Structure 1
Amino acid sequence: MKKLMCFFAFFLPGVVLAATGHEVHLDEAPIDLTDKASLQRGAKTFMNYCSGCHSMKYQRYQRTFSDLGISDELGEEYLQFTGDKVTDYITRAMPETAAAGWFGAAPPDLTLVARVRGVDWLYTYLRTFYVDPERPFGVNNKVFPEVGMPHVLQPLQGTPVETFEEVMVDGEMVKRYAGIKSAGDGALSPEEYDQLVGDLVNFLKYTGEPFRLQSEKIGKWALVFIIVLFVFVYLLKKDYWREIH
């Protein structure tokens, strides 16, 4: 039952958005899986701000460190906080029972979240929290209304507030939503925060498909092999049928 509640808490708001026809513009995420520096920064952000509540139960520490060009020693010292071995899967620091008690349901595993939600959704989601005193954690989200997650990156972004602009509609001045703006009390500038979120989403994209770059490389060589093989097969076919015709 708890897993079912967690599923609905995580996915139902997206279904409600689709059903009501309310669409939120999704910004394009700056994805580059060849940028190891970005992936390393994303891994650092995840481990420091996300792994307390969220796990990556299909991804091992050692595999992550190896793919991102991080030694096991540095990874264990700066990116592991649960006491697990480097060969273990990435687990949350918070006990599941405690998480379920505090949040109503244990926060979902994020190994495949980029494949489920999409990188543009994640990128926009992490940049559209805004202050809402009526919510339990004091924040809401434009992409994920009634979100049950606190804005853990707020110390970096600063207090996010909704902004509005006045526009003329049918001869009357009305207020229209104009975006989210930091109150300026964060550790990062808006540009730096956008980059941090982009790096984090880039890392989540990697964990959803760790073999992607390798598969694309193999796929290119497979296509080259097929083209070369086709040439030889075609020449063989012509030589075989030459005497018959």
Structure 2
Amino acid sequence: MSLLKKTTSVALLALVVAGAQASESVHLDKAPLSFDNASLQSGAKTFINYCLSCHGASSLRYNRLTQIGLTEQQIKDNLMFTADKVGEQMTVAMRRDDAKKWFGAAPPDLSVIARARASGDGSGADWLYTYLRQFYRDDSRPTGWNNAVFPGVGMPHVLYGLQGVQEAHFVEKDDGHGNKTSHLEGFEIVEPGTLTKEEYDTEVANLVSFLTWMGEPARESRQTIGWAVLAVLSVLAALSWMLKKAFWKDVH
């Protein structure tokens, strides 16, 4: 038991140190989230066309998209490629065995990815927004791609047709202890995509907004109900105070 505790402690310490080092080396950009219907519909379109072939969203059913202003007929005609009925889950088209063979591991379900990626350095939305904009060409990787936020990632850059192909420029710096460390200096687009940088950033922001919404589709109604409950409680508190004042007005 003592050995197990020591081993567990060492493992936890290693994770903490790794996390601290990662947080020092990665800057997360603030995600400009927007939850209006137009942004969420754009994000849903990008997700289904570029992500759903590998990543599922099994906690969300297609008919939930009516909450962002789409009709069931629009969903059937434009967004349903892996299901027959609008009430079905957003399951992945790729088989897990094939995914593991091709990528080394099955791509994760993205139902709550925005929550899962949250950390002390920023929200999960910030992580996703930065991650999806920092892929770069790396011929040493099996897929030909790498990522500054997630070094060694097995996922290829599925949005490169939109963003284009960019190269990363690294510089070596002394860490103050005589060790040379590599620091990202910036990116350069070497093959333009179909979108400008500003257009691509907006496209990614809409996708991240949808991924964030997807993790809690009832968020807006929950907040509305919460404010209504607080308003009712405020009225009841005022009435209780007035009633107490009326009962005790003759007591000296």
TM class by smaller structure:
0.7 to 0.9
Q: TM-score, normalised by structure 1?
A: 0.85
Partner residue in 1 for 2:120: none
SS of the residue corresponding to residue 183 of structure 1 reads strand
The answer to whether the Cα contact below 8 Å between 2:58 and 2:89 also exists between their aligned partners in 1 is: yes
CA shift at 1:145, angstroms? 1.2
Runs ≥4 residues deviating over 4 A: 12-15, 164-167
One-letter code aligned to 1:39: L
Partner residue in 2 for 1:52: 53
Matches within 5 A, 1:51-130: 51-64=52-65, 66-117=66-117, 118-130=124-136
How many pairs does the alignment contain? 228
Identity of aligned residues (%): 47
SS of the residue corresponding to residue 186 of structure 2 reads strand
Provide the C-alpha distance between the structure 2 equivalents of 1:43 and 1:243, rounded to a whole number of angstroms. Answer: 65
CA shift at 1:203, angstroms? 0.3
One-letter code aligned to 1:182: I
Give the counterpart of 1:141 among 128, 139, 147. 147
Provide the C-alpha distance between the structure 1 equivalents of 2:87 and 2:79, rounded to a whole number of angstroms. Answer: 13
Question: Please, which runs of 5 or more residues in structure 2 have no aligned partner?
Answer: 1-13, 118-123, 177-181
Provide the C-alpha distance between the structure 2 equivalents of 1:28 and 1:159, rounded to a whole number of angstroms. Answer: 23
Partner residue in 2 for 1:132: 138
Distance of aligned partners of 1:31 and 1:234 in 2 relative to their CA distance in 1, 3 Å threshold: same
Distance of aligned partners of 1:23 and 1:229 in 2 relative to their CA distance in 1, 3 Å threshold: farther
Provide the C-alpha distance between the structure 2 equivalents of 1:97 and 1:188, rounded to a whole number of angstroms. Answer: 34
SS of the residue corresponding to residue 217 of structure 2 reads coil
Provide the C-alpha distance between the structure 1 equivalents of 2:223 and 2:245, rounded to a whole number of angstroms. Answer: 33
CA RMSD of aligned residues (A): 2.6
One-letter code aligned to 2:141: R
One-letter code aligned to 2:25: E
Provide the C-alpha distance between the structure 2 equivalents of 1:129 and 1:30, rounded to a whole number of angstroms. Answer: 19
Q: Which has the higher contact order (CA 8 A, sep 6+)?
A: 1
The answer to whether the Cα contact below 8 Å between 1:182 and 1:190 also exists between their aligned partners in 2 is: no
1:194-221 CA deviation, whole Å, 9 max, x = no partner? Answer: 0110000000011011011111111111
Matches within 5 A, 1:80-229: 80-117=80-117, 118-163=124-169, 177-229=184-236
One-letter code aligned to 1:61: Y
SS of the residue corresponding to residue 34 of structure 2 reads coil
Question: Please, which runs of 5 or more residues in structure 1 have no aligned partner?
Answer: 1-11
Give the counterpart of 1:26 among 18, 25, 28. 28
Q: TM-score, normalised by structure 2?
A: 0.83
SS of the residue corresponding to residue 159 of structure 1 reads strand
Partner residue in 1 for 2:43: 42
Provide the C-alpha distance between the structure 2 equivalents of 1:53 and 1:14, rounded to a whole number of angstroms. Answer: 31
CA shift at 1:193, angstroms? 0.6
